[in-house]
Structure 1
Amino acid sequence: MMTYVKAAFILVTAIALLMVISFWAAGRARTALDDEARDKLLSRGHAYSFIELSQGKVHYRLEGPEDGQLIVLVHGFSTPSFVWDEHFKPLVQAGYRVLAFDNYGRGLSARPDVTYNADLFDTQLVELLDALGVKRRVDLVGYSMGGAIATVFSARHTERVRSLTLIAPAGLGVASNPNIELLTRPLIGDWIVRLFGTRLFYSGAAEEAKSATNPGAFLAGFNRQLEYRGYGDALLSTLRHYPFTGLDDAYAAVGASSLPVLVIWGEADAVVPYSAATRLMELVPQAQLRSYPAVGHNITFSDPALVNSLIMSFLRTQDTRVTSPGAGGKPRGPLARMEPRRCASCTGLPEEGEIVVAPIN
């Protein structure tokens, strides 16, 4: 009997040691995202600009007239700021100054060994705007998890925001996924992500790329961030610590602030279910909701022309309204609500007469 016990102990110890070694080796196999790597990225035209913040260097892209109203684009959970590439030209041509950046742990930004929670990403955006010398109110646009980041920022720093656009925003619930739930478990999740994360993440991106207007460029941009250490660890920490649900208070604070809010959502969204829009509209009663049947979570990069047209139409309204603070620090000016639009083509600008003042059913 003791022989079997000893044999089992040796086997378990050997397996544990093998897992530890493989975990360490997998992490060291990737390139460090240091200054040498950043210089190479810049020289090859794969990066725009870097700026030093408290948790490391952040990769960002800033274009448009210096005196233009600043639009800040915040990407989602796993796909970095290149998701906004096709939004820059039309927005800049419309006279806006446009800023997109990689959240910590994503793209070409630093991957600090910290807890990836709401405070981290909120502080990153605050520090980035301060470091770039942004003094005026900005128009925030957040996609998926970026919508949650933008909502938290707007709730905490309302005085810095002129308007808020949310595209399939997280924070009020996401679709359940058994595979994701497995990754959040201690030890086993870390080991899976460290050894197989690259394959898993790339597989998911390859599926998403099918709906992109330029699948090759999408995959190339996504794959580039996988080359450097820390991406999988950052995503795992985010899964464990970021409030993908339960941000009701932040949304309610935005609703109480009277900030102009536009919400864009695909009704066939399988990642952040469209059903969460009902709760969002309850918490943010001034919001304008635009929804599209048979459209999924990838609307930002699967139909950038539609999203750009909606954003610019919304922002043109802000350009003509009084945006100085009113009583209690709230922006002046009434807003209408938009009901979901049912359409066959789901493309193009909103049609005349579609904006109504009405509750969401």
Structure 2
Amino acid sequence: MTKLATSTITTHVQRLHAERSPDDTGEPPVVVFVHGLLTDSLASYYFTLGPAFAQAGVDVIMYDLRGHGRSDRPATGYRLEDFVDDLVALLDALGETRRVHVVGNSFGGTIASALDAWHPDRVATVTMIEAEPPVERWTGHMKGGLADAKEQLVRDEVIGWISDRYGAHTAKLSRGAGRILQRTTLAEDVASGRVIDDDLGALTAPLLAIFGDGSGLNRQVPWLEALVERCRTVVLPDQGHSVLVERTEETRKLVLDWVREHHALTGAVR
């Protein structure tokens, strides 16, 4: 397994915990993995896609979002554009000038598509795994869901129900998410930030969108295919929202093939 180097990157606003593979020879593609909200961290990629991509000759960057994992947890500043600005600042701090392939799971996919919309010069491709682009209706989904989570995840009976149904580890993560929501303005900020137009004209990079057929997010497929010029969608059967964890091998192959296809490189991706 290729070792990923751990570092703390100090940007102009945050300290972000990041891990990346050692520099390779030549010009390998660089893939940035962006995790989901509240119960997630870069660890989800460490145990799924990250090391395998590094072994395949890809330059891998994984990091904890603000408020998550080992990154700073400010009391405020959780609008979508804040997360996107952090990613740009991280790339700058790492001296990364290549266009990056951005892979985002759940909320991470929204960050990835927003980076494409607002900083197209930084993006080679976007992969959204069980995610939505940041259009107006997305903010409605997030506002309701986060408000409910803020209320419910401080209740012992709710955490107990989660433990009984999904196990102690998930219950621990859920309790931690409740603390984040109580101690920060994340629930209020995420749904109040910048959005893109419903016509998706701001999305110009090639887009791979992967969904489970049971989550409901796959209803976006006709819309994405009609409006994003270079779009490929994949719907995995008998699968809910946890695509990354439960369908790791399929996801790994889909995304690695996507990166290979869109990166003009000989020999660096094996």
TM-score under structure 1 length normalisation: 0.60
Residue segments in structure 1 that go unaligned for 5+ positions in a row: 1-46, 210-215, 322-361
In structure 2, what residue type is equivalent to 1:74? V
Greater Rg over alpha carbons, structure: 1
Pairwise mapping of residues 1-361 of structure 1 onto structure 2 (< 5 A)? 48-67=6-25, 68-78=28-38, 79-85=40-46, 86-170=48-132, 171-172=134-135, 173=137, 180=145, 182-183=147-148, 192=151, 196=154, 222=173, 226=176, 231-233=180-182, 237-243=185-191, 247-249=195-197, 252-255=200-203, 257=204, 259-269=205-215, 273-320=217-264
RMSD (CA atoms): 3.6
Structure with more of its chain in strand, by fraction: 2
Residues 146 and 169 of structure 1 are in contact (CA less than 8 Å); yes or no, is this contact kept in structure 2?
Answer: yes
Q: Equivalent residue of 1:295, what SS?
A: coil
Residues 148/288 of structure 1: CA separation in 2 closer, same or farther (3 Å cut): same
Q: Which has the higher contact order (CA 8 A, sep 6+)?
A: 2
Residues 128 and 208 of structure 2 are in contact (CA less than 8 Å); yes or no, is this contact kept in structure 1?
Answer: yes
C-alpha displacement at 1:220, in angstroms?
10
Aligned twin of 1:347: none
C-alpha displacement at 1:296, in angstroms?
0.8
Residues 82 and 221 of structure 1 are in contact (CA less than 8 Å); yes or no, is this contact kept in structure 2?
Answer: no
Question: Greater shift after overlay, 197-206 or 65-74?
Answer: 197-206
How many pairs are equivalent?
254
Q: Equivalent residue of 2:49, what SS?
A: helix
Separation (CA, whole Å) in 2 of partners of 1:245 and 1:291: 29
Residue segments in structure 2 that go unaligned for 5+ positions in a row: 266-270
Residues 154 and 179 of structure 2 are in contact (CA less than 8 Å); yes or no, is this contact kept in structure 1?
Answer: no
Separation (CA, whole Å) in 1 of partners of 2:245 and 2:141: 23
In structure 2, what residue type is equivalent to 1:57? R
Encode CA deviations 1:50-83: one digit per residue, 9 max, x unaligned.
1212333111111144443210001111211111
In structure 1, what residue type is equivalent to 2:180? Y
In structure 2, what residue type is equivalent to 1:249? D
In structure 1, what residue type is equivalent to 2:131? P
Q: Equivalent residue of 1:130, what SS?
A: helix
Q: Taking every aligned residue pair, what percent have the same amino acid on both sides?
A: 23
